[in-house]
Each structure stands twice: as C-alpha cells, then as structure tokens.
Amino acid sequence: MIPAAFDYVRAGSAAEAISLIGQHGSDAKFIAGGHSLLPMMKLRLAQPAVLVDISRISDLSYIKDAGDHIAIGAMTRHMEVEKSSVLAQHVPLLAHAAGHVGDPQVRHRGTIGGSIAHADPASDLPATTLALGATYVVQGPNGTREIAASDFYKSFLESDLAEDEMLTEIRVPKMNGAGWSFQKFNRRAQDWAIVGVAAWRGANGSGVGLVNMGQTPILASSVSAALAGGSSIADAAALAVADAQPSADNNATVEYRTHLAKVLVRRALEQASA
Amino acid sequence: MEIQVTVNGKKFTSDVEPRTLLVHYVREVLNLTGTNVGCDTSSCGACSLHLDGEAVKSCTVLAVQADGANITTIEGMAAADGTLHPMQQSFMENHGLQCGFCTPGMVMAATSLLKENPNPTEDEVRIGLEGNLCRCTGYHNIVKAVLAAAGK
C-alpha cells in the first residue's frame, strides 16, 4: 500500500513548522514519527496534500526536571520516555506506559507528542497523561498557550489543537512517590488495548485514566471522587464506567468492555494502593 | 526529492517521490530484496531494518524521512568475506528459521534488542520480539537463537 501523492517539506524549528502549515492551509498535516499518520495514509483514510515533517526539530526532544513537574518535548520518542531515568524516578507510571506502546520498532520512531496530538482513545499515552493531570503546551502563530489534558480531547481523533497550532511540550506533575498501576488488556502482543487503565493513588488523591472506553481517552473522575469520599476500592471500581461511553467493535461488546473496565480499575487500584 | 543515505556502508543519492516507503526504496531502487514486505501495516516486522542503529519497520517510514541516515539491511550483516553475523550464525545453529520469510526482520530486531539489552532473560527476548511475527510459529527456536547469540 502506497499513500496518495503529497508534497513534503521539512521544518527546522517550531516557528518554521507553524509558518509552513499556515502557508499550506487545511490540506497540510504535521508528521512526527509517522506511526499513526502513515498507516492511515496508506489506507487512504488520510490524504494530506502536504506533509510538514517536524521530527527533526531537535530542540523539541528532551525530558527535563522542572521543579514540580517534568517537561517533555513533543518530539521525544516513546523509547526515550520508556528508558528515562528522570521519569523512572518522578513519573514512573508514564515511563512504564510508554514501554507498552506498540512494539520496540514502533517505539523507536513514534513520539509522545504525535501520540497525544493524534488523540486516539485507544492509545496508551493520552489516557495516561490525562490520569496524571498533565498540561499540554501548544504553539501557534500568535504564541503559546497551555491546555489541561482534561480540556484537550474533544471527540474521536479530535483535539483542541487548531489547524495552525502544534503541540510542543507535555508537562507532567511529579508523582511524589504515589502508588501506580498500568493495566493493558489485549489479545495479541503489540496490539492496542481492548481496555486499558492508568492509575495512581497517593497522599494528594488519585487519578484514573481509561483507554478505549469512549470517543476520547476518559478520566474516571467518579472513581477518584469515591476514593476521596472514603469508598473501598471495590466500591470505587464499580463506578469505572460512570464517566465512560464504551462502544462495541470486533474485539468486544459494550457489556464486555464495561466488565473489563471494572475489573481492571479494581486491579489497578489494588496495585496502586499496595 | 533528492535524498542521500548510507546503506550497508555505501553512500547513495537518489531522487524519490515523497510517498515512497523506505522498504520500497531499499528493495526496488537499491535492489536489496532481503528486507521483506509482509503485512505492510507495521504489525509483522518482516520489513525491519536498522535506521541509525535502531530497528524500525521500513513499511512505515518514508524514504524522505531517512534522508541523511545510516541504514543497515540484512545484506549488511555478514562480514565482507561472507562470515555470518553472530546472530545469523546462531539462527542457523539453533534452527531459528523454517520458511525464512520472517528471518531477516527477526535478525534485525534481535540485534537491535541485544544492543539495548545485551543480557536479556527469556521473557525479555519474547517481549523484545513482540513486533515480529513468525507464521511458521517457530518462536521457540528463534528465542533460543537470540539467547545463544547473547551468550557469545
């Protein structure tokens, strides 16, 4: 399978990338690692007229300790997130989840920014950063703005990013020793989760993100509220789908997804609380 | 668009369409047909090669994205005198191949794995090769071959 023809331009900086996407209008798309976009282009589910390659913007590839949070450049590859000693110390849930994206070859190419900007509810990192209360920094022609992960995801593969805006940084609060768990249920190695759960629980509360349980990654706020109110793990996990809108596909019915979410949230909370 | 790449130690300059996939560039322009196209959907790993020292699935990389890169394909693994790479030798000695279709990708993925984790456990080998499918289901001897190569 070969993508439909397109023009290719390469950006050396975020400002240049935004200028290029502005010049080429709504038929242009950013490409980073290309591991979400290229498969869609090969299937002709996407046919951009112009690709603006942002993967070589080297000053957007970093993982920095920024005091109360870790700042991650959008072009940082999954393998670098997975292997980062800074993240292992301060946000181990994110490093662990990054190690479950695709397979090693995919993680050598795919970027955290690309995964989040793609806004796939079945992807691991959107739901994980949502659970962790991350903030996304985006740059546009008129400067930068910060978007809370909880305000970012709008619909299936749709985010708050405007066409001429680019995700540049992911800010993830330090976990400060909170317990955590990542549960990914799938039938085949390397596959997307049928249902996934990213959860943490600490002195400041808890966060539970659900993978593939709706049109967007889902923050299971009802579960955290129940825990804060003194509910048992079992009672809180029973609310796993209160904020979700699971749909059926070849892998699972709505009933099966609902069952999986409750079981996986309970397991995740047990592990995070141990 | 003109690209310059180094493949198996040799420099090439080529004019490619932006939509040319790296696997098609390697197979059809450079005539290095050891890299196979299996699923063509970044699932099976048959098209794995090394891009700047790391295994990638070349069906999901544009040739223009590889501009300036150092690429190694299965043809570049053996020494100039034909001596097999230790991983290739180990696949041979451990019967790590049946039909052979997945083998180039397996060898490229396995060498990349050992570069990142020189002393893997059996579980780590199995998980590390999760991006490569063997439709003969010959995984047992593939894992044996990789573990044996790690011991060399």
Distance between CA atoms of residues B109 and B111, nearest Å: 6
pLDDT reported for residue A25: 85
The answer to whether A107 touches A96, Cβ cutoff 8 Å, is: no
Structural domain total, chain B: 2
Q: Which two tokens stand for residue A194?
A: 């049928």
Neighbours of B53 (CB within 10 A): 14
Q: Is residue B80 part of a domain?
A: no
Q: Which two tokens stand for residue B147?
A: 């573990």
**Domain at B122, CATH number:** 1.10.150.120
Task: Give me the domain span that covers residue B125.
Answer: 86-149
Shortest distance between the Cα of B68 and any Cα of chain A, in A, equals: 11
Residue A19: name the closest of A49, A54, A48 by CA. A54
Q: B128 vs A104: CB contact, 8 Å cut-off?
A: yes
Q: What DSSP character marks residue A57?
A: -
Q: Is residue B56 part of a domain?
A: yes
Same domain, B11 and B63: yes
The domain boundary, picked from B74, B103, B123, lies at: B74
Distance between CA atoms of residues B131 and B126, nearest Å: 10
Q: B62 vs A8: CB contact, 8 Å cut-off?
A: yes
Percent of chain B clearing pLDDT 70 (strictly above): 99
Same domain, B130 and B66: no
**Domain at B17, CATH number:** 3.10.20.30
Q: Is residue B81 part of a domain?
A: no
Q: Is residue B104 part of a domain?
A: yes
A190 reaches B (C-beta below 8 A) = yes
Q: A2 vs B24: CB contact, 8 Å cut-off?
A: yes
Q: Is residue B17 part of a domain?
A: yes
Q: A108 vs B43: CB contact, 8 Å cut-off?
A: no
Q: Is residue B126 part of a domain?
A: yes
Distance between CA atoms of residues B97 and B106, nearest Å: 9
Give residues with Cβ within 8 angstroms of A261, minimum separation 6: A195, A197, A210, A213, A240, A241, A244, A246
Same domain, B68 and B30: yes
A44 reaches B (C-beta below 8 A) = no
Residue among B1, B40, B43 minimizing CB distance to A8: B1
pLDDT reported for residue A26: 86
Same domain, B40 and B102: no
Q: Give how far Cα B27 sits from Cα of A236, A260, B33, B50, B97, Å.
A: 55, 44, 5, 15, 22
Residue A227: name the closest of A215, A219, A217, A237 by CA. A237
Q: A108 vs B45: CB contact, 8 Å cut-off?
A: no
Same domain, B70 and B118: no
Same domain, B70 and B103: no
pLDDT reported for residue B152: 65
Which residue of chain B is at minimal alpha-carbon distance from A35?
B60
Q: Is residue B131 part of a domain?
A: yes
Distance between CA atoms of residues A67 and B125, nearest Å: 37
Same domain, B109 and B54: no
Distance between CA atoms of residues A75 and A56, nearest Å: 8
Phi-psi region of A252 (alpha: psi -120 to 50; beta: other; left: phi over 0): beta
Same domain, B61 and B99: no
Q: Which two tokens stand for residue A157?
A: 């593969």
Sequence length of chain A is 274
Per residue of chain A (274 residues), what is the pLDDT tens digit?
Answer: 899 999 999 999 999 999 999 999 889 999 999 999 999 999 999 999 999 999 999 999 999 999 999 999 999 999 999 999 999 999 999 999 999 999 999 999 999 999 999 999 999 999 999 999 999 999 999 999 999 999 999 999 999 999 999 999 999 999 999 999 999 999 888 889 999 999 999 998 999 999 999 999 999 999 999 999 999 999 999 999 999 999 999 999 999 999 999 999 999 999 999 8
Q: Is residue B79 part of a domain?
A: no
Which residue of chain A is at minimal alpha-carbon distance from B25?
A2
pLDDT reported for residue A190: 83
Give the up-direction half-sphere exposure of residue A233: CA atoms within 13 A in the CB hemisphere.
16
The domain boundary, picked from B74, B94, B121, lies at: B74
Chain B positions in Cβ-Cβ contact with residue A2 (cut-off 8 Å): 19-21, 24
The domain boundary, picked from B17, B48, B74, lies at: B74
Q: What DSSP character marks residue A258?
A: H
The answer to whether A6 touches B19, Cβ cutoff 8 Å, is: yes
A62 reaches B (C-beta below 8 A) = no
A160 reaches B (C-beta below 8 A) = no
Same domain, B49 and B95: no
Q: Which of B4, B59, B71, B130 to mutate to test the interface with A (most CBs of A within 10 A)?
A: B130
Beta-ladder partners of A7? A50
pLDDT reported for residue A273: 95
Q: Which two tokens stand for residue B41?
A: 């959907």
Chain A positions in Cβ-Cβ contact with residue B66 (cut-off 8 Å): none
Q: A105 vs B62: CB contact, 8 Å cut-off?
A: no
pTM: 0.97
Same domain, B6 and B47: yes
Shortest distance between the Cα of A2 and any Cα of chain B, in A, equals: 7
Shortest distance between the Cα of A178 and any Cα of chain B, in A, equals: 27
Q: Which of A10, A105, A186, A191 to mutate to test the interface with B (most CBs of B within 10 A)?
A: A105
Same domain, B69 and B91: no
Kindly report, residue by residue over B93-143, the tens digit of the pLDDT.
Answer: 999 999 999 999 999 999 999 999 999 999 999 999 999 999 999 999 999
User: What is the average per-residue pLDDT within B34-45?
Assistant: 96
Same domain, B40 and B96: no
